Homo-oligomer: A and B are copies of this chain.
Amino acid sequence: MSAKQQIARLALSLVVEPGDARLRDLLAVHPPERVLLAVRGGTHLPGHRIPEVWTERASDLDGRVERARSRADAAGLRWVCPGDRDWPSALGDLDHVVPLHGTAGAPLGLWVRGAANLAALCAKGVALVGARDCTTYGAEVASDLGADLTDAGWTVVSGAAYGIDGCAHRGALAMGGATVAVLACGADLDYPRSHASLLARIADDGLVVSEQAPGESPLKGRFLSRNRIIAALSRGTIVVEAAVRSGSLNTLNWADQLGRTTMGLPGPVTSKSSGGVHLAVREGKAVLVTDARDVVEELGGLGAEHEQLEIPATEFDRMSPVMQATLDGLDWRQQRTPIEIAAAVRLSAREVRAALGDLERRGLVSRTDGGWVLVRRADTG
């Protein structure tokens, strides 16, 4: 992508409401600089009308660009767009989904606060979202899950809102991990206000991003269009607490549209806060998960197991099914007895004991006072 195209994208993002499906359709057939020219001139492109409001807004385009850039500079934001090294190509999937409430398309670019590489962080991104007015149960579970997923090498992506979102980010930060917050307002604004220090901490190790220009307000519709970015930056979305009509289910819908893994963490049926999650699981729109282990399993399948185990795939594939299952039942830190492993993976304790012996000889597991754990290999080449 040329520098000219990148500048055209930035300009377009300032005159067209981000996520407008009509712009997505235009960009599917015309390069951005051509679309920008048509918008500025108020001329139409073959087969496409240019909405008048775009042209009206473009009348002050230079001023808009100038203001956005100076706000961005003041807040330390960068503009990242296709062609940049840290642009997550996964966002392109948004160009191929059915519009939801008129919203569709990859963002033209993202304003980014923080030094980390967005593409690298999101290569193993997992969205963790949920109710603003969560219960203490939800808060506890979300921060544990955020922490455990971070510990397992995943990047928690969320919306920095009150409730579940904030807890998910805090859980990640507590593990010293990088986490990504996607805002519905400019990435320079602290929204919600009382999350200012949380957002600052997120930007320190991770990133605060938005497709909205610096200074833009979090208008209502922007939360829904923002949700598509959370879903697209992640390999899967987990909802922890959502009432039946919660906006968090909107993120789940986007994830589903994008072919990402959709997951729901249940709660007491007596709590309305879990009603939307239960409905989604019941209707087959989300898989039930109870902890980070379940999530990693859903996200990665066997592939992720290899990665986690740091065992070459060929070595893993050559193992007997009993050995593979036994590895599944082990953890890095938590010691497990053969009986516990057997219960978890549906083997007999005798099978597990035999497999553990073989795995120990291969240096993959080790015996401790309290049971067995996985062994980290120094280097797998």
Contact = CB atoms under 8 A, between A and B. Distances in A.
A245 B288 contact: no
Contacts of A289: 282
Interface in A1-47: none
Given A269-B266, A270-B137, A290-B269, A244 B343 contact: yes
Contacts of A245: 343
A281 interface: yes
B270 A268 contact: no
A291 interface: yes
A60 interface: no
A341 to B, nearest CB: 12
A248 to B, nearest CB: 15
A313 B241 CA distance: 38
A268 B268 contact: yes
8 contacts: A137-B268, A266-B266, A266-B278, A267-B267, A269-B290, A282-B287, A282-B289, A288-B288
Interface of A: 137, 140-141, 244-245, 265-270, 274-275, 278, 281-282, 287-291, 294, 343-344
Given A141-B268, A266-B278, A278-B290, 15 more contacts: A141-B269, A244-B343, A266-B266, A266-B267, A266-B268, A266-B269, A267-B268, A267-B269, A268-B268, A269-B290, A275-B290, A281-B281, A281-B288, A282-B290, A288-B288
A290 B275 CA distance: 8
Nearest to A344: B244
B268 A278 contact: no
A244 B346 CA distance: 11
A151 B144 CA distance: 40
Contact of A269 (B265, B269, B282): B265
A95 to B, nearest CB: 27
A141 B278 CA distance: 15
Contacts of A282: 287-290, 294
Contacts of A291: 269
Contacts of A244: 343-344
Nearest to A339: B245
Tell me which of A137, A140, A245, A270 has the highest count of chain B C-beta atoms within 10 A of its own C-beta.
Answer: A270
Nearest to A141: B269
Nearest to A135: B268
A276 to B, nearest CB: 10
A289 B265 CA distance: 14
Contacts of A278: 266, 288, 290
